[in-house]
């Protein structure tokens, strides 16, 4: 069984990712590798934030790892909240506050199109995964690879469901009647942005 670190302590994310990765991988959280620090997350893109977090863990804890960043991109709001999704309503990072603000900003808007986008950054020693793709600026010391997952959908007018987290209770994926918060973990993993990005990571690791 291969041991890797997922640079998060978000138990919802861990549960989703462990379910997708399956028994071939043992996925450690930040807490399990005794990383207690607040990871840097000051980028202005999902890619930059995922890279910052993965690089911090890789350089300080010396093991293969991956980090993700996810944004809700709403067409009528010029793709906001995007990279600022977790702190859309302020630095308190409260999901209910974020949803309240989103619904307020869309109250008279007919265009409810939106998408969730996840970017994963994988980082390891060259010797560990010699087939991976290098970042030009870090070529001498590490391998860096990015994986993206997107799911299209729309924002409904009120919350539905008690599962999931973040904006899940107001997001209905295209072709479905349920919000992410009304789906089981298995249903969500069959089509979610994060599972699509993780599936690409798994394919890469296995190959």
C-alpha span between 118 and 162 (Å, rounded): 22
C-alpha span between 97 and 159 (Å, rounded): 12
- pLDDT at position 19: 84
Question: What is the mean predicted confidence (pLDDT) over 178-194?
Answer: 94
- pLDDT at position 16: 83
Q: 79 and 116 in contact (C-beta within 8 Å)?
A: no
What confidence tens digit (pLDDT) does each residue in 22-53 have?
888 899 999 999 999 888 889 999 999 999 99
What confidence tens digit (pLDDT) does each residue in 119-142 have?
999 999 865 544 444 444 555 567
- Residues contacting 61, CB < 8 A, separation 6+: 5, 33, 35
Of 31, 44, 68, 69, which one is the catalytic site residue?
69
Establish whether 69 is a catalytic residue.
Answer: yes
For residue 78, pLDDT beyond 90: yes
* Cβ atoms within 10 Å, residue 192: 24
Domain 2-206 fold is Maf protein (3.90.950)
């Amino acid at each position: 069984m291969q041991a890797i670190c997922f640079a998060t302590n978000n138990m919802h994310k861990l549960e989703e990712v462990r379910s997708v990765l399956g028994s071939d991988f043992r996925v450690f959280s930040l807490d399990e590798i005794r990383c207690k620090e607040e990871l840097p997350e000051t980028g202005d893109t999902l890619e930059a934030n995922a890279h910052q977090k993965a690089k911090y863990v890789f350089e300080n804890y010396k093991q293969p790892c991956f980090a993700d960043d996810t944004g809700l991109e709403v067409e009528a709001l010029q793709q906001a909240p995007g990279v600022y999704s977790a702190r859309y309503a302020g630095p308190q990072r409260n999901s209910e506050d974020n949803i309240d603000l989103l619904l307020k900003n869309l109250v008279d808007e007919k265009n409810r199109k939106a998408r969730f986008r996840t970017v994963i950054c994988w980082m390891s020693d060259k010797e560990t995964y010699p087939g991976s793709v290098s970042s030009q600026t870090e070529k001498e010391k590490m391998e860096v690879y990015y994986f993206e997952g997107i799911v299209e959908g729309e924002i409904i007018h009120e919350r539905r469901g008690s599962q999931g987290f973040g904006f899940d209770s107001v997001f209905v994926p295209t072709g479905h009647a349920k919000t992410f918060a009304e789906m089981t973990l298995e249903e969500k993993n069959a089509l979610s942005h994060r599972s699509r990005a993780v599936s690409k990571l798994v394919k890469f690791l296995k190959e």
